[in-house]
Structure 1
Amino acid sequence: MTDFALARPLEIGESLTQSGVEDVFETNFGYQFKGITLRSPDAGRYLILLANEGEIYDDEFGQGDEFTYLGEGVREKGDQKETAANKALIDAIEDPLPIYLFTSTEGIDDYEYRGLVEVQDYEYVSDGARMVYRFQIKRLGISSWEGYQRTASEVEETTREPPSLTENSTEYTTAESKVRSSVFARKVKQRYDYRCAACGARRFSPEGNPEVEAAHIYPKSEDGPDDLRNGIALCKLHHWAFDRGWFSVDDDLGIIVREDAEQVVPEEIAILSEETLLTPSTDDLEPHSIYLQAHRRLHGFE
């Protein structure tokens, strides 16, 4: 992640004119900024997203943390292309960079800062008239890139400490928790090379997005921590099966399939019996026994 410093800190909720935005980012757009604005100063690349409530962009912003953002490209010019801005959003899924979100009403020189966001996924699909990029965006609730980097580093540093079964969420702000969860998910998937640790499947969408998901061994619902040793990458089916207790893992990473269920064990799960969980290349980030034992206790394997 590249460091990037603004002329001054931005506060979530503050409103600026375009000239005010330009002053903060020490740039001159040269036009009414809208949509996706990519900048590459010496300090490092960054993106500004403008979610506009007018007719220029049909962004599905809503009030929640997640929303769909339409890629760059004028409707009259046909299919959206892989412009530098669209590609930067695509690349940000695996290699995050600062993405600053503003909202406005079309035609009014008043832009509200909504904080940093991350790109979770994207698809290239028809909207009925042309092909468009639809990006799945998540608001992080944090205002500064430096704050993001600091929290991301803390997730890495956690692995150098003795593992703890639970994470006292009161130690973190809501924004810090969101960033920690985001970093955890991305790094777990990367460390397993986007391969399911149970079945070995490595599947991608037509756009190249991995199907694999990051699973907490000892779940977040039980205050399990965002410790990389508490994470494994699993395909969607085996993530569900693991969370539901269809199988667990012993301390030697052997897969244990449930044999006392009221339902017949699904074949896709039964074939895992006596197989060994795949592990990342870095030994110190293998699933830790404290979390494996807790998962077995939680689901009645011991």
Structure 2
Amino acid sequence: MILNKEYTKEEIESIFDTRFGYGIKGINLRKFTDGRPYIILFSKQFGPYTDEFSENSFSYNGEGVNKNQKLTAANKALTDSQTDGREIYGFRQNHEKGVWKYLGLLKVIDWKYTPKNGFNTYVFKLKPVNFPNN
């Protein structure tokens, strides 16, 4: 994959040899053919979550909208990724529906369970793996 290149859902499915079904969840837990787990992470600029992006890091809201979030398998995979080394492939939809910009390999550098928009929410701070000082 090429950093900052835009891919369609079908191209991403082909690259990862997987199928997302009708819609794409934000946190997709997958395994390589050798059994190693990884995550494909999707964020929409105009979606139901209030993810916050800057040039070199971003805050990503965990799984669950309009309710107190639970430590689901997806949220737990992100919390555990700090210690288990699970690769996270990041994608962001900025404008055109159905097209996703590849953000590169990401890592969770911090997370908290905090009140946000009236509900307790898992908020993950992520950075690109190849960003200086990582």
TM-score higher than 0.5: yes
Q: Which protein is richer in helix relative to its size?
A: 1
Q: State yes or no: 1:87 paired with 2:71.
A: no
Q: Which has the higher contact order (CA 8 A, sep 6+)?
A: 2
Structure 2 CA distance for aligned equivalents of residues 40 and 81 of structure 1: 23
CA distance in 2: counterparts of 1:16 and 1:128, whole angstroms: 31
Pick the aligned partner of 1:122 from 111, 115, 120. 111
Structure 1 residues 241-256: aligned runs within 5 Å: none
Equivalent pairs counted in the alignment come to 133
Q: SS of 1:12's equivalent?
A: coil
Q: Which amino acid aligns with 1:27?
A: T
Matches within 5 A, 1:119-268: 119-141=108-130, 175=131, 178=132, 181-182=133-134
The aligned amino acid for 2:109 is Q
Q: Tell whether 2:113 aligns with 1:104.
A: no
Determine the structure 2 residue equivalent to 1:199. none
1:11-50 equivalent positions in 2, closer than 5 A: 11-43=2-34, 44-50=36-42
Contact 1:35/1:57, CA 8 A, preserved across alignment: no
Identical pairs, percent: 36
1:51 Cα deviation (Å)?
A: 2.0
Q: CA deviation at 1:127?
A: 1.0
Secondary structure at the aligned position of 2:83 is classed as coil
For the aligned residue pairs, the C-alpha RMSD in angstroms reads 1.7
Q: 1:51 aligns with which of 43, 62, 66?
A: 43
Aligned to 1:185: none
* Higher strand fraction (1 or 2): 2
- CA 1:126–1:16: 2 relative to 1, 3 Å: same
Higher Rg of the two aligned structures: 1
For 1:51, the aligned partner's letter is: S
CA deviation after TM superposition for structure 1 residue 22, in Å: 0.2
Query: What's the TM-score once normalised by structure 1's chain length?
Result: 0.42
Task: Tell me by how many angstroms 1:97 deviates.
Answer: 1.1
Q: CA deviation at 1:107?
A: 6.9
C-alpha contact 1:50 1:103 (8 A) present in aligned 2: yes
